[in-house]
Chains A and B, each alone.
Chain A
Amino acid sequence: MTQAEIKLCSLLLQEHFGEIVEKIGVHLIRTGSQPLRVIAHDTGTSLDQVKKALCVLIQHNLVIHRVHKRGVVEYEAQCSRVLRMLRYPRYIYTAKTLYSDTGELLVEELLLNGKMTMSAVVKKVADRLTETMEDGKNMDYAEVSNTFVRLADTHFVQRCPVVPATENSDPGPPPPAPTLVISEKDMYLVPKLSLIGKGKRRRSSDEDATGEPKAKRPKHTSDNKEPIPDDGIYWQANLDRFHQHFRDQAIVSAVANRMDQTSSEIVRTMLRMSEITTSSSAPFTQPLSSNEIFRSLPVGYNISKQVLDQYLTLLADDPAKTLLSDLDPRHEDLHKALGCLSTASLESVVQERFGSRCARIFRLVLQKKHLEQKQVEDFAMIPAKEAKDMLYKMLSENFISLQEIPKTPDHAPSRTFYLYTVNIPSAARMLLHRCYKSVANLIERRQFETKENKRLLEKSQRVEAIIASMQATGAEEAQLQEIEEMITAPERQQLETLKRNVNKLDACEIQVDETIFLLESYIESTLKRQ
């Protein structure tokens, strides 16, 4: 774990869970796997607090436990999982686009609570949705359950591993920590529940909007005491599936940019068809014949078979990407596609930072793999002095590296060839590290801005609370206005700017996270290939 990653994890943990959890979490990330007592001793917190913090972290899948030999239980933090917390807004947004508001709230609840049972999450979401609906309408549990089932079918949510059902004749003492297992088949099996009911509105004591007879209320409250039918079956969000979806999205939009809309639709169909059959880390999609593709195209695109074939040939022939194989059945080379995308990210970073001529040199060295200084100048048609300057600048920033080829055994500099080359995985890692640090900087700046204006924020909160309570008690217009004027115009202005800045910083974090996703997927895919 690099320094930048640890810093980012500590900021995220602090923002989401507070100081104590952050301390424990960062300690675990830094030192690896540790037993309980050692954690308590090293961080200087009481055993009780450490236990609570670990509970929180385990609930959110950030820490796993393992039985070491000799029966010691050790806890290990997963740094990469902590970094995913940055991406929660993107997951929620994806669920919204695919399954509308219900899906969005379901995923949000699961992410915020780590693990939940199906009935609990369905109930909660129904309640939330009911609040936002008009008066007199309620959200039916059945609808929410349907969306949940659909999420499970497309593998966006999965079951958490459970303690295996042990036989009763278990000799000896039970193990110190349960080992959790889950079989592949069961992961997406939705339990048969019949959740009947409707979402409840949260009422204040005076409201009696729907006019439900008071007699019925005790019955509703007694529902809570019944045993929940699916106790013990917990669900969590399946992040790998979301990542697969993001990757597909990135490929489709790249194809749309490079060619046209129709080709991107074809690629999207192909990827969708192999969504569930391919595991998330496979380098190739399943082979599909062009007939299958033709049949599965969305209804709106009535293009003939020959046109489809032509598009497929074009996609296969594309000199830049060579996504598809030319044979029928065709499959997509996902590793190459990811490589292409991350190379494009590298190129755009070079272009924005150093200028378009530097970008030209960078792409030139990328394409030709190894070049001498003189050849670079000739191919790129840039005067020698400037070319030299740019090459050295990029070299100092580690985008380009040198390869020495000596002519003599004593490696004398005047008799050695020096070739410039781009090592893509290493440049990608360098850029990734920079991304982590940038996000940490953005978060810090956001916290700083909030802290600066803390006094003002507290004041505005107080004023809002006063106004709300006064409105509830039915105060007059004049009094409300008087209280609103407690916040002066420049202060209002300041608040506006603060809100705008915080939003901007937040949005920027998410944008940098997109780059992080591309680079991480590429590096993972490269490691798997080796």
Chain B
Amino acid sequence: MAEVKVKVQPPDADPVEIENRIIELCHQFPHGITDQVIQNEMPHIEAQQRAVAINRLLSMGQLDLLRSNTGLLYRIKDSQNAGKMKGSDNQEKLVYQIIEDAGNKGIWSRDIRYKSNLPLTEINKILKNLESKKLIKAVKSVAASKKKVYMLYNLQPDRSVTGGAWYSDQDFESEFVEVLNQQCFKFLQTKAETARESKQNPMIQRNSSFASSHEVWKFICELGISKVELSMEDIETILNTLIYDGKVEMTIIAAKEGTVGSVDGHMKLYRAVNPVIPPTGLIRAPCGLCPVFDDCHEGGEISPSNCVYMTEWLEF
């Protein structure tokens, strides 16, 4: 009797069946599955068949390959995304993935090149392609105006890239800052004036001339001069510039958590002050402001005897 070699065909040896099983598994574990898990599920499939199935799924764009610290992870790809990438090839998918990972900070083209190891020309072509497909967009960074960072099309760029409330279209809004500056100062000044006129006890006078940053913020919001929503930190940066102008001083007091405007258990108070001394003596002389001071000496082209600035000043 001839022995019939019967190849025991495992029940689902069909490659399509394997793929479907893998996809089901991926749906079960949306965070991704390792090779180990697939092996456990389908112990009768040989490693080679498994690898073939996985490769097919990857090339079809239905699986995502990720690396984790335990090994390789396979994750089901979002079907919508899968549709988008239908026409693209592997390189484009790689670039897209890198940009997606950068989140809302965006990534520079040179960094894309490093991560993907693709040559520059390729990268440029791919980027143009993706842009025309409206999958990514380029955002000009405010730090270096020539640098363009790429991010996904529907993401809002981060504050560090656009500069936040003070920048509109990459331009620093100096007049806006100036106007806010003056308004805050006027508010604090009027407060100090009313406090001084109340003529009470000096301690009370001083305390009532203080305004917390929260109060200033409310005042500015009510004024409505700003089209952009301003937060309390923004107002604090404006008040800091007033401190550097020497017009305002700040103290920090400990406040209970829960009082209005307190941050981390303390509150910042601001108060308008007068300058310590009037403009100093050197400024009253023309020499103090003279631009050619170092060239001036008796008997030279520029000397005190024929100084034009002095003549003008004497004629006042």
Residues of A within 8 A of B (CB): 250, 253-254, 257-258, 260, 262-263, 307, 310-311, 313-314, 319-321, 340-341, 344-345, 347-349, 351-353, 356, 359-361, 363-364, 367, 379-384, 431, 434-435, 437-438, 441-442, 444-445, 448, 501, 504-505, 508, 511-516, 518
Q: How far is the CB of B33 from chain A (nearest CB, A)?
A: 45
In Å, the complex CA distance between A254 and B275 comes to: 9
Judging by beta carbons under 8 Å apart, are B305 and A348 in contact? no
Judging by beta carbons under 8 Å apart, are A363 and B281 in contact? no
In Å, the complex CA distance between A132 and B114 comes to: 94
Q: B263 near A: Cβ within 8 Å?
A: no
Judging by beta carbons under 8 Å apart, are A363 and B245 in contact? yes
> Residues of B contacting A434 with CB < 8 Å?
282, 287-288, 293
Q: B240 near A: Cβ within 8 Å?
A: yes
Judging by beta carbons under 8 Å apart, are B250 and A438 in contact? no
* Known contacts A352-B289, A360-B245, A382-B174, A340 near B250 by CB under 8 Å: no
In Å, the complex CA distance between A307 and B199 comes to: 13
Judging by beta carbons under 8 Å apart, are B280 and A515 in contact? yes
26 residue pairs of the A-B complex, CB under 8 angstroms, read: A257-B276, A319-B250, A319-B251, A340-B276, A348-B283, A349-B283, A351-B279, A353-B289, A360-B244, A364-B244, A379-B240, A381-B177, A381-B237, A382-B174, A383-B174, A435-B282, A438-B282, A441-B287, A441-B304, A442-B285, A444-B298, A448-B305, A508-B284, A508-B285, A513-B281, A514-B281
Central interface residue in B201, B240, B243, B277, by most chain A CB within 10 Å: B277
Known contacts A352-B289, A359-B245, A381-B241; 5 additional CB pairs below 8 A are A257-B277, A344-B280, A345-B282, A445-B304, A448-B304
* Known contacts A348-B283, A445-B305, A313 near B203 by CB under 8 Å: yes
Interface residue ranges of B237-292 to A (CB < 8 Å): 237-238, 240-241, 243-246, 249-251, 273-285, 287-289
Q: B310 near A: Cβ within 8 Å?
A: yes
User: Which residue of the partner chain, among B244, B274, B296, B304, contacts A258 with CB atoms under 8 Å?
Assistant: B274
In Å, the complex CA distance between A514 and B284 comes to: 11
Judging by beta carbons under 8 Å apart, are B285 and A380 in contact? no
> Residues of A contacting B287 with CB < 8 Å?
434, 437-438, 441-442, 512
Q: B8 near A: Cβ within 8 Å?
A: no
Residues of B within 8 A of A (CB): 166, 172, 174, 177, 196, 201-203, 206, 237-238, 240-241, 243-246, 249-251, 273-285, 287-289, 293, 296, 298, 303-305, 307, 310, 314
Judging by beta carbons under 8 Å apart, are B202 and A512 in contact? no
Judging by beta carbons under 8 Å apart, are B246 and A359 in contact? yes
In Å, the complex CA distance between A349 and B279 comes to: 8
> Residues of B contacting A442 with CB < 8 Å?
285, 287, 304
Judging by beta carbons under 8 Å apart, are B298 and A511 in contact? no
Q: How far is the CB of B201 from chain A (nearest CB, A)?
A: 7
Judging by beta carbons under 8 Å apart, are A311 and B202 in contact? yes
Q: How far is the CB of B103 from chain A (nearest CB, A)?
A: 23
In Å, the complex CA distance between A440 and B227 comes to: 56
Judging by beta carbons under 8 Å apart, are A254 and B284 in contact? no
Judging by beta carbons under 8 Å apart, are B282 and A320 in contact? no
User: Which residue of the partner chain, among A311, A345, A380, A516, contacts B277 with CB atoms under 8 Å?
Assistant: A345
Give the residue name and chain of the B residue nearest to A441 (CB).
B304
In Å, the complex CA distance between A314 and B249 comes to: 14
* Known contacts A313-B203, A512-B282, A257 near B274 by CB under 8 Å: yes
Judging by beta carbons under 8 Å apart, are B282 and A344 in contact? no
Q: How far is the CB of A150 from chain B (nearest CB, A)?
A: 30
* Known contacts A258-B273, A353-B288, A360 near B283 by CB under 8 Å: no
- A-B interface, 4 closest residue pairs, ranked by CB to CB distance from nearest: A438-B287, A511-B281, A441-B304, A515-B281
Judging by beta carbons under 8 Å apart, are B284 and A512 in contact? yes
In Å, the complex CA distance between A49 and B282 comes to: 38
